[in-house]
Structure 1
Amino acid sequence: MEQYQVPADLEGRRLSTILTSTLGMSRRLLRRIIREDGFYVNGEPVRLSAIVRRGDLISWRRPNESPSIAPEPMPLDICYEDEDVVVVNKWLAF
């Protein structure tokens, strides 16, 4: 279970604002978490509209990612590659 403790400067904000702005969660991810297990503040289930206080402990389970599209082998025209960057020519004619 993942957790985040609310600092003093975020007291009085909506849970949804903290999750999206501070923790960088997408709305899509929020919906998936709500469907699977939900969010908790201090161990109690809450809605995204809940107002949090300093010291509150927000907890949730991150859903397992399962790819919905199976990868398929294909030729790639790799123009450049090093340990940090790969440049692929997407205009490769098949």
Structure 2
Amino acid sequence: MTFMKPLTLLLALSLPTLALADNPEPMPLSYAVFEAAIPHMDLAECPRDLAAEDRFCRVTVSHDEVHVFAFSYDGDSPFVGHATYPADGLEALLQ
């Protein structure tokens, strides 16, 4: 039994990653991926500028901003919109 040389092994392991990096097509963001990767809180309702009957929203706070992500109820709940608000405008967002 022979073992791969370290450089050969490194190249073999990196090829799938390189193929993805060169793929020009964007990958859609599903809610399942967002939920697993991004710390967030659920919103009872989307803000007015993102609100729609077929959507739900999640919120994150980063730096001095509030980021709201909207997802569709259709299919695998794809990402459909985003809005950023200054943290000092939080009261207006919650109305």
Q: TM-score normalised to the size of structure 2?
A: 0.29
Which has a greater percent of strand?
Answer: 2
Q: TM-score normalised to the size of structure 1?
A: 0.29
Higher relative CO (Cα under 8 Å, sequence separation at least 6) belongs to 1
